[in-house]
Structure 1
Amino acid sequence: MDGSDKAGRGESGALAEVPDGETLGASDAVKAYLGDAYDGVARYAELLLDQGELRGLIGPREVPRIWERHILNSAAVVPYLPESGSLIDIGSGAGLPGVVIAVMRPQLEVILVEPMERRTTWLNEVVSSLGLTNVQVNRGRAEEYHGAFEVDVVTSRAVAALSKLVRMSMPLVRVGGEMVILKGRNVAQEVEPARKLLRKYGVGDPEILEGSTVEGAESTTIVRVRRGK
């Protein structure tokens, strides 16, 4: 996601200023959007603000914009996910979007898959700190779990091109389940190179959707495909 712009357009078309960091996170709009999940998500944001840069999870320029660029960007995928069932977040990294999803969807069983040990250490600490009983952290690459289990949804954020994501993700999706991923605005250009792989799993044209949260915060692009075979 290109998060260089700090303003978004309101209903009138005029630019609406977006506060950075804690100001945005403490806004009434964000509290209303997150509802009962706000306290847990806010605690996760605090952990990222406190330790994210130190532990190499986010860059120094990302710290002031954790809420818009990372937390809300991750939250934008949640309306496209089921209330319950099972989900894998591949390449979870700092826990984006997997931890945000787990807090907002407490009835959803969430598996965070991440190959780097220092990141899985962080993820386990976050899960413990937030008391997330619906989360499991697995160290490894997505491909290592092909054939081990299947879930209702596989998600990811800024991990790879669509063709590579299909190879990594679709073997983990049960027939009738979905891959729902956060991608950049130019994802439509990635569809054709992925077409052959998509057909292998009985997928037609992917849905390219807009993920938005609060007014003024930049929206993101979401790709959703359903496995047919």
Structure 2
Amino acid sequence: MDLYCNENLVAEIAERNRPMLLKYIEGLVSFSGRVRLTGPQDPETLWSEHIVDCLYSVPLLPPEGNIIDVGTGGGLPGVVWAICRPDLTITLLDSVRKKCKALEELTALLKLENVRIVCSRAEEYALERREHFSLAGARAVTGTGVLLEYLSPFVSLGGKVLAFKGPLYKEEIEPLNGKEKRLGLSAPSVFPYSLNGKEHFLLIWQKKQPCSKEFPRKTGMAERKFWWR
């Protein structure tokens, strides 16, 4: 298993940031009556299934720069990144206004000065921030191929695309078969880890060349007409 997914390293990161991470969990629970930011609402499950999962990606973050969490929902993984890496500027992107409003209040409560919240569709915001970020990531958003179309336009040359995936990722990337080059991306590097007895994977693509100007396409096109077919 790669060093980046070493359990001891993740445990060290968790312990170092535990007070702020627990305060974040408290915020998620307190907002649950107003807007559903996450699936589970109990603190123990939020920690073991969500916070720890996000922590596995922290060692993969760039040494400096701006990063974006697309489809952030309740701020997973973006708020975790902001807590663990206060030296980075984190953009949390979501199209649901209620969630964005809740995140504004939550990040203010946590006094996270390195967070920017944007309420927009990925396809629209990518036109404003094309190749602006060192890393674009997403967790539990959509299938891998569609996700790459959303994320690649955001990433600068030499940057990374990051996706959280389960065991079915192999079925999702098989149809791509090297066609990621159309999006300016390398083949993925895969970082496996185990969480609560289940297999998890972090997939990383390097931005090797500019993304084709045809991307991002109009809203909804990524889901209706797959770019790799």
Please classify the TM superposition score into its range, dividing by the shorter chain length: 0.7 to 0.9
- AA partner of residue 93 (structure 1): G
State the 4+ residue runs in structure 1 displaced beyond 6 angstroms. none
Contact 1:49/1:66, CA 8 A, preserved across alignment? no
SS in 1 for 2:139: coil
**Matched length:** 200
**Conserved in 2, the CA contact under 8 Å of 1:209 and 1:223?**
yes
Runs of 5+ unmatched residues, structure 1: 1-10, 12-28
Answer yes or no: is 1:81 the counterpart of 2:61.
Answer: yes
* Counterpart AA for 2:117: V
Give the superposition deviation at 1:147: 3.0
TM-score by length of 1: 0.79
SS state of the match for residue 168, structure 2? helix
Match of 2:181 among 195, 199, 211: 199
Aligned twin of 2:147: 165
Report the residue type matching 2:147 in the other structure.
L
1:143 to 119, 123, 133: 123
Counterpart mapping for 1:28-43 below 5 A: 32-43=12-23
For 1:147, what is the secondary structure of its paired residue? helix
Q: Compared with structure 1, are the counterparts of its residues 192 and 31 closer, same or farther at alpha carbon in structure 2 (3 Å cutoff)?
A: closer
Which letter does structure 2 place at the counterpart of 1:204? Answer: S
- Once the two structures are aligned, what percentage of the paired residues are identical? 29
1:134 aligns to 2:114 (yes or no): yes
| SS state at 1:194 partner | coil
Q: Which amino acid aligns with 1:104?
A: C
Alignment of 1:50-61 (within 5 A): 50-52=30-32, 55-59=35-39
Distance apart, 1:218 and its partner CA: 5.2
Q: Displacement of 1:196 after TM fit? A: 5.9
TM-score (norm. length: structure 2): 0.79
User: 1:64 Cα shift?
Assistant: 4.5
Q: Distance in 2 between matches of 1:143 and 1:80?
A: 25
Q: Does 1:68 align with 2:54?
A: no
Q: Which moved more, 1:123-132 or 1:74-83?
A: 74-83
**Distance change >3 Å, CA 218–CA 67, structure 1 → 2:** farther
Q: Which residue type is aligned with residue 191 of structure 1?
A: I
* Offset of residue 211 of structure 1: 4.2
Which stretches in structure 2 are left out of the alignment for 5+ residues? Answer: 1-6, 210-229
Residue 62 to residue 223, structure 1, CA distance change in 2 (3 Å): farther
